[in-house]
Amino acid sequence: MNATGAYRQSRDQLLRLRGDHARAVAEFRWPELGTRFNWAVDWFDAVASGNDRPALVVVEEDGSATERTFAEMSRASDRLSSWLAAGGVRKGDPVLLMLGNQVELWEAMLAIMKLGAVILPTTTAVGRADLADRIARGRVRHVICDAADTGTFGQVPGDYTRISVGAAEGWSDLREAADLEHTSVGHPGTTPDDPLLLYFTSGTTSRPKLVEHTQVSYPVGHLSTMYWLGLRPGDVHLNISSPGWAKHAWSCFFAPWIAEATIVVHDYRRFDAAALLDQLHRRKVSSFCAPPTVWRMLINAELGERPEALREAISAGEPLNPEVIERVRRAWGVTVRDGFGQTETTAQVGNTPGAGGYYHTGDVASRDAEGYITYIGRTDDVFKASDYKISPFELESALIEHPAVAEAAVVPAPDPVRLAVPKAYIALAPGHEPTEETALSILRYAREHLAPYQRVRRIEFFDLPKTISGKIRRVELRAREQELADGRRASAEWRDDQFPGLKG
């Protein structure tokens, strides 16, 4: 059996076993691909041949949309692959790809793969210093970005080819590829162990790490992500994720196209809950995935009626609070499912065998007698207060049930008696003010809904610092508390000992 047939056999096995987790665990087998494999050629081109179903729909902020079929994406990426090869892109060359949610991003991903070159996806929000670091550590040979972003590279050193989407002085215009006659590209001869992707992690607690993926680790590994998302052929999948981060590749590239589903991308500059909900209805979305921040924004808006085609609701990126899950269940009658994975992995739970040891994720979870795993938090977020171990996620989950709280981040605040006490940084929901009355209400709510040892002793109304991928940087908040350790009180901070009824 060739690589395409083996890959399809494993994919179809997961489709048949959807909903039967026990059988999937017992019976699923990873595909045996032989000595060479290239996902763009061996899988995407194979399913795209003569396929006029929509593969990609990019919806702009004004509601207009650009649509491409599987066959169109295959032909366009062939032309771009030939054009890039003529411009000097070779097998094994690292290519920094810095594009937004535009059709050219998907065409370029496929085209670079077809050459056997290595993709280094990068968010458009990255600054010059981070770009210089990525280009140096990733040994970048070529850069592809939008014409509007070429100025960002003006003072970024490096000997790299400059390619832009649209005309820019000193840069080659990628759109010239559309004028080429179509010819199918040959197989680049990539082996399963050849590099395919270079990712930088979001750096929530330390300097971003450089992660390498091979021709199989994501293209084959994301069979697990397809199964987790519950995708089927013909589905319409909308995922909220910024280009340049691993989750974008998870749910806006590999998993949907493994399932032969349509990818819908809502490209907006400023989040609008009503506009997103409208697209869920209008585009007949059957599978919707969003980070907890977006789910919290949606429930703070008016969810309205369940989108008629919606079957799967998923969350990823950070732990999802139970209150959010329950609010969506009451409004839509569906359960938001979350999962765990990292830039280094695909969808996973627990450790998997590899390289003679264990892969340590840096996360803490509990496992009950039935084998269910409950996420607790990052090892570097868990702390001790009065000799009790505190999981910020548990406290935050209780806090956001209060109507005034949109988001919360709990960190240890140094205390001369208890060593540390839980302090919550609060982002307020619309319509609520950072007043003494609001603070008292939240502190009282926390006292009533948490165990005594978990009691939130301090709160501060604050704009939560986040990575450019949208994850809360508790490390910055912890550092801020250390700076305030001399007993100084922040101007918007409230402590339980200020309120007589909350002392003790």
Predicted local confidence at residue 498, as pLDDT? 86
Predicted local confidence at residue 357, as pLDDT? 41
Please report, as a single letter, which amino acid is at residue 13: Q
Residues of the chain with pLDDT under 70: 202-207, 340, 344-354, 356-367, 373-380, 386-388, 417, 468-469, 486-488, 503-504
CATH number of 37-351: 3.40.50.12780
User: CA 94 → CA 138, 322, 454, distances in Å?
Assistant: 7, 42, 48
Close Cβ partners of 416 (under 8 Å, ≥ 6 residues apart): none
The answer to whether the CB of 424 falls within 8 A of the CB of 494 is no
The answer to whether the CB of 185 falls within 8 A of the CB of 81 is yes
Concatenated DSSP letters of 405-451: EEEEEEEEEEETTTEEEEEEEEEEPTT----HHHHHHHHHHHHHHS-
**How far apart are alpha carbons 105 and 108 in whole angstroms?**
5
| Structure-token match 């599978």, residue found | 287
Q: Which of 26, 85, 43, 15 is nearest to 216 (CA)?
A: 43
**How far apart are alpha carbons 213 and 119 in whole angstroms?**
10
Q: Supply 421's token pair.
A: 């006490």
User: CA 141 → CA 85, 95, 96, 201, 350, distances in Å?
Assistant: 13, 6, 8, 21, 36
Q: Supply 236's token pair.
A: 């319409």
**How far apart are alpha carbons 299 and 402 in whole angstroms?**
13
Q: Supply 24's token pair.
A: 């999937």
* C-alpha torsion angle, residues 300, 304, 310, 316 (rounded to 10): 0
Q: Which CATH number fits domain 377-502: 3.60.20.10, 3.30.300.30, 3.40.50.880, 3.40.50.300?
A: 3.30.300.30
DSSP 317: S
Looking from the CA of 42 toward its CB, the CA atoms found within 13 Å total 27
Give the three-class secondary structure for 306: coil
Per-residue pLDDT tens over the stretch 325-379:
899 999 999 988 887 677 766 665 422 222 734 434 556 666 677 777 666 556 5
Task: Give the residue ranges of DSSP H helices in 235-348.
Answer: 246-249, 255-258, 273-282, 292-300, 322-332
**How far apart are alpha carbons 163 and 175 in whole angstroms?**
10
Predicted local confidence at residue 488, as pLDDT? 66
| Structure-token match 């076993």, residue found | 17
User: What are the boundaries of each domain within the chain?
Assistant: 1-34, 37-351, 377-502
The answer to whether the CB of 231 falls within 8 A of the CB of 237 is yes
